[in-house]
Amino acid sequence: MTSIQRTAVLTGATSDRGIGITTARRYASQGWGVVILDLDGEKSAKVAADIGNEFNVPAFGHEIDVANEGSVTAAYEAVKKETIAGILPPVGALANIAGITSPVPFLETTLDLWHKVMDVNATGTYLVTKAFLPDMIEAGWGRIVNMSSVSAQRGGGVFGKVPYSAAKAAILGLTKALAREIGATGVTVNAITPGAVDTNIRVGSTDEQEAAINAGIPLGRNATTEEIAAVITFLSSEESAYLTGTTIDINGGSHIH
């Protein structure tokens, strides 16, 4: 719960069964204003409006391609306009959720695929963080939550293969180094490493692949998107003030270390 009214900015938050939309609803249920940034601007605006109406909070949606610097700048400026006009409260949290995976075996990957997966996951996290961080530093308070994956820690094993594991590992390095660099500013930077979550990201996976995934999880099932959203909003709360540079595992025991 945020006592002062603040806005949470989420990337990758329009997918119907995705982690982002569930997290946006959870932020709103706690009184946060919400900004939805995703590839489809119209859908982003609609998801934001629906959430704003349901929870009676300020909400705004805008298109973004997190891998494109110009698009990130345009999205940031559109959000800034809303905050300056007082339509949205100041941005207090950024959840970098946008991501893509790839199940292609290493020797079948192309350089284009490598760049695409790195660009959306790792470079996207870099660009969006760089855009929204200065205002949080100026305010002296902020929470950044970055979406990594258990794949970064144990070398895939869910669905995504080498480029995905590498990109999600880059996010852990970014998180730790940035947390250290800006520790004194009042802005915390943390990462989460979910295992398998029941969303559309593994569209195309077979029943056998899904059964094999669940067989490797001591809790015997995928996480729900609500279980991921709960940790993201906790890491965005006043109560998480002494957590920075950390990685929170949410994997049902699939990687105990």
For ligand NAD, the binding residues (CB under 6 A) are 11-12, 14-15, 18-20, 38-39, 64-67, 97-101, 120, 147, 149, 194, 196-197, 199-201
Instruction: Tell me the residue type at 230.
Output: A
225-235 vs 19-29: helix axis angle to the nearest 10? Answer: 50
Question: Do residues 243 and 190 touch, judged by C-beta distance below 8 A?
Answer: yes
CA distance 8 to 89: 9
Q: How far is the CB of 253 from ligand NAD (least distance, A)?
A: 15
Q: Decide: helix, strand or coil at residue 91.
A: strand
- State the minimum distance, in angstroms, from the CB of residue 19 to ligand NAD: 4
Which residue lies nearer to ligand NAD by CB, 89 or 171? 171
The amino acid at 77: E
The dihedral formed by the CA atoms of 130, 132, 136 and 137, expressed in degrees to the nearest 10: 20
- Hey, how many other C-beta atoms are within 10 angstroms of the C-beta on 187? 24
Residue given tokens 């996207």 in the structure block: 124
Catalytic residue among 27, 76, 126, 164: 164
C-beta separation of 210 from 158 below 8 A: no
For the bound state, the minimum distance from the C-beta of residue 76 to ligand NAD, rounded and expressed in Å, comes to 13
182 vs 191, beta carbon nearer ligand NAD: 191
Nearer to ligand NAD, 141 or 189 (CB): 189
What minimum distance in Å lies between the beta carbon of 86 and ligand NAD?
27
Q: Locate 198 and state its tokens.
A: 């029941």
In terms of CB distance, is 224 or 237 closer to ligand NAD?
224
Comparing CB distances to ligand NAD, the nearer of 77 and 138 is: 77
Nearest CA to 189 out of 241, 127, 249, 134 is that of: 241
Q: Is 242 a catalytic residue?
A: no
Residue nearest to ligand NAD (CB): 99
Active site residues: 164
